[in-house]
Amino acid sequence: MIDIDKIRSDFPILTQKINGNNLVYLDNSATTHKPQQVIDSIVDFYSSMNCNVHRGVHYLGEQASIAYESVREKVKDFIKAKKSKEIVFTSGTTESINLIANSFGRSFINKGDEIIITEMEHHSNIVPWQILCENKGAKLKIIPINNNGTLMIDKLNSLITDRTKLISLTYVSNVLGTITPVKDVIKTAHSKDIPVLIDAAQAVQHIPIDVQNLDCDFFVFSGHKIYAETGVGVLYAKEKWLEAMPPHKYGGGMISKVSFKKTSFAEVPFKFEAGTGNISAVISLGKAIEYLNDIGIKEIQKHEDELMRYTFDKLSTLDGITIYGNAPKRCGIISFNLDNIHHYDAVMILDKMGIAVRSGTHCAEPVMSHYGINGSIRVSFAIYNSKEDIDGLIYGLKKVQEMHQ
């Protein structure tokens, strides 16, 4: 059982009043707030250690490099990767996916090849593949979704051909909260030697991860959605892929030898980390993982599952509400609309009451098209959310409905 009051007290922003009301923050899929421990780690870094990493051999340079690399180790343990060299630091999920599209895609996708994604992807897991396919003359194929928000996974076998070179799918839908059957997809794909990329931007903060058990080839997520600073992300890839893939950008810190005739590149993972990384954000990611480990991701999962059920039950009591998707396995997110009320209007009124939720298409327009809507209200949870937050939300939604009567 987690101590919600103790956890809330770790997040200074939650004590803020918004328009005179207590803040009810339920837009955690967009970004989570940061505990004091994470905020302190950023200040500490600049106060005592600031230096570029993997360059200076002076004291501060060494200290910063040790701290930076210890985070790689922590990330490795957090997602249960085999080796820390399989962890590449990026600026976020978007860059991680673009890295794979520009590197793996450049080397291994050719004219006539096929890439499979799903109908429930975030634009970040659609557009890089769409552009790659356009450039290469390859084909993008889509696993459709059922109305209950699950994937039509039985279609996968018929979508796979001998030209399929990659399957890229989300672990958790950023609109519907559906947990997709990634393990089944990976098993099917591997039986045909097709690598699989998992977009875990909405998964790592909610459910325990074991990339070796999943056996995925690529696994990506963002730091800022998991209580760390913005501007850091992770690309996990099996070592064999990182060895086989060319760098996607070139510059300092990623070479082993440079002359005007020829340049050779550094070892994995450094050949994918050209230029100075977002060092303080990486440090903050290490602290965020420590923070999560101290609470325990399984405890977090239990708490958030309970909150999800509570929210679902409470929302279902409202008249004139349509909830999108009802997958048996879901986490973190619920999307809905109120009859005859524009999601944008609803969210503006909620904001006046100090309730932060998201409206719009959530960077997933194909999901909106599937349900024939131009947007929705989205509620998303984090460890610090309580049943009181949900009660506040329900009160706010009733007020929205009242004002529209």
Partner 1 sequence: MDEKINNIQEEIIEEFSKLNDWFDKYEYLIDLGKSLEPLDEKLKSEENSLSGCQSKVWLKAEIRGERILYLVASDSLITKGMISLLLRVLNNQYPEDIVNADLYFIDKIGLNTNLSPSRVNGLMSIVKHIKSYAKVAPNINK
Residue 345 CB, shortest distance to partner 1, in Å, is 5
Nearest CA among 70, 125, 72, 118 for reference residue 96: 125
Measured from the CB atom, is 249 or 404 closer to partner 1?
A: 404
Does residue 363 carry a catalytic annotation? yes
221, two tokens: 């997520």
Amino acid at position 16, single letter: Q
Sheet containing 321-324: give its strands across.
321-324, 333-338, 376-380, 358-360
By CB under 8 A, tell whether 365 contacts partner 1: no
- Interacting positions 95-124 with partner 1 (CB under 8 A): none
Figure out which of the listed residues 351, 365, 394, 398 binds partner 1, where binding follows CB under 8 A.
351
The dihedrals phi and psi of 376, each to the nearest 5 degrees, come to -155, 170
Can you say whether the dihedral through the CA atoms of 44, 48, 51, 53 is positive or negative? negative
Among 87-95, 96-104, 111-119, 345-353, the segment contacting partner 1 (CB under 8 A) = 345-353
Residue 302 to residues 1, 33, 307, 331, 387: CA-CA distances in angstroms? 8, 20, 9, 10, 14
Residue 362 CB, shortest distance to partner 1, in Å, is 13
The answer to whether 205 and 332 have CB atoms below 8 angstroms apart is yes
Measured from the CB atom, is 286 or 396 closer to partner 1?
A: 396
The answer to whether the peptide bond before residue 269 is cis (omega within 30 degrees of 0) is yes
- Report the DSSP beta bridge partners of residue 151: 145
Amino acid at position 126, single letter: I
Q: Which residue has the tokens 């809507």?
A: 373
Among 223-231, 297-305, 328-336, 348-356, the segment contacting partner 1 (CB under 8 A) = 348-356
Figure out which of the listed residues 44, 69, 299, 345 binds partner 1, where binding follows CB under 8 A.
345
Each residue 385-404 as x (binds partner 1 by CB under 8 A) or -, in order, gives ------------------xx
Measured from the CB atom, is 62 or 351 closer to partner 1?
A: 351
Residue 403 CB, shortest distance to partner 1, in Å, is 5
Catalytic entry in 51, 133, 216, 363: 363
Crossing angle of helices 93-108 and 127-136, in 10° steps, is 20
Residue 327 CB, shortest distance to partner 1, in Å, is 28
Crossing angle of helices 279-295 and 59-79, in 10° steps, is 40
- For residue 18, what is the enclosing H or E element? strand 17-18
- Give the interface size with partner 1 as a residue count (CB under 8 A): 14
Distance CA 380, CA 174 (A): 9
The answer to whether 45 and 279 have CB atoms below 8 angstroms apart is yes
- Interacting positions 3-32 with partner 1 (CB under 8 A): 19
The dihedrals phi and psi of 235, each to the nearest 5 degrees, come to -120, 115
The answer to whether 283 and 41 have CB atoms below 8 angstroms apart is yes
Figure out which of the listed residues 48, 243, 348, 391 binds partner 1, where binding follows CB under 8 A.
348
Measured from the CB atom, is 46 or 344 closer to partner 1?
A: 344
Figure out which of the listed residues 349, 368, 383, 393 binds partner 1, where binding follows CB under 8 A.
349
Residue 353 CB, shortest distance to partner 1, in Å, is 9
Residue 165 CB, shortest distance to partner 1, in Å, is 37
Each residue 247-276 as x (binds partner 1 by CB under 8 A) or -, in order, gives ------------------------------
Q: Which residue has the tokens 């970040």?
A: 124
Report the SS3 class of residue 356: strand
Residue 399 CB, shortest distance to partner 1, in Å, is 8
Measured from the CB atom, is 61 or 360 closer to partner 1?
A: 360
Residue 356 CB, shortest distance to partner 1, in Å, is 12
Each residue 304-343 as x (binds partner 1 by CB under 8 A) or -, in order, gives -------------------------------------xx-
Crossing angle of helices 387-404 and 343-352, in 10° steps, is 120
Measured from the CB atom, is 31 or 301 closer to partner 1?
A: 31
Residues carrying an active site annotation: 363
Binding site for partner 1 (CB under 8 A): 19, 341-342, 344-345, 348-349, 351-352, 359-360, 374, 403-404
